[in-house]
Amino acid sequence: MVRTAVLVSGGGTNLQALIDKAARGEMPSVELALVVSNSAGAFALERAKRAGIRAEYLEKAGFEERLEALLREEGIGLIVLAGFLRILSEDFTRRWAGRIINIHPSLIPSFCGAGFYGLRVHAAALERGVKVTGATVHFVNEIPDGGEIIAQRAVEVLPGDTPETLQRRVMEQAEWIILPQAAEKVAEMLERS
Ligand code: GAR
């Protein structure tokens, strides 16, 4: 099993999907060992604690240094960004190359990159009038949302959608499915390498 850290900033529904899959034995290569938030009030921290996973909040000053220390202390081999809304430095992503994955709520290369996060992504998709959107899991490199794509899943945009209704459908029909699958796939690859 690969000891895995999940980085979060908000509600943590993607973290919950990972916790639920792990509990059902559907991610045999992933051991959820640590949850780190850059936001003190993130409900994701509560979800982690309820699941018995170490949960830490790290403030902005010295964030990456402290994160690095925690990752080493916990023997982490894989980092999953699950609604983590801070951009990691080039140095950090280089050190962890091939070991960090992110879920993004659109079909990359549409509606991605700096400034596209959370509801803004879905507002932009509705504004452009696309009929299909979705979610993407990709490796993280120094370019925001620019790393190699691991998995994607398409979701229909329906008449009358708001950013909120579309966000929910993309989560239910794409994110909560492909993030655990991709985490397991990458962890399995890491185990074998
Ligand atoms: C998710 O939709 C995730 O894809 C998105 O933030 C939301 C977090 O929800 N991430 C990004 O926009 C990253 N660019 P959650 O906290 O309930 O998992």
pLDDT in tens, 38-75: 999 999 999 999 999 999 999 999 999 999 999 999 99
What number of CA atoms fall less than 13 Å from residue 183's CA on the CB side?
A: 34
- Which residue has 């398409």 as its token pair? 154
Q: Which amino acid is at 21?
A: K
Distance CA 153, CA 143 (A): 22
Query: What's the mean per-residue pLDDT of the chain?
Result: 98
What number of CA atoms fall less than 13 Å from residue 139's CA on the CB side?
A: 13
* Residue bearing the CA closest to ligand 1, atom 15: 12
* Residue bearing the CA closest to ligand 1, atom 16: 12
Report the residue among 8, 13, 14 best suited for mutation to probe ligand 1: largest number of ligand atoms under 8 A from its CB: 14
* Of 104, 122, 169, 185, catalytic: 104
* Bridge pairing between strands 78-81 and 132-139: unpaired
pLDDT digits (tens, 9 = 90+) for 85-139: 999 999 999 999 999 999 999 999 999 999 999 999 999 999 999 999 999 999 9
Q: Which atom of ligand 1 is nearest to the CA of 117?
A: 12
Task: Decide: pTM greater than 0.95.
Answer: yes
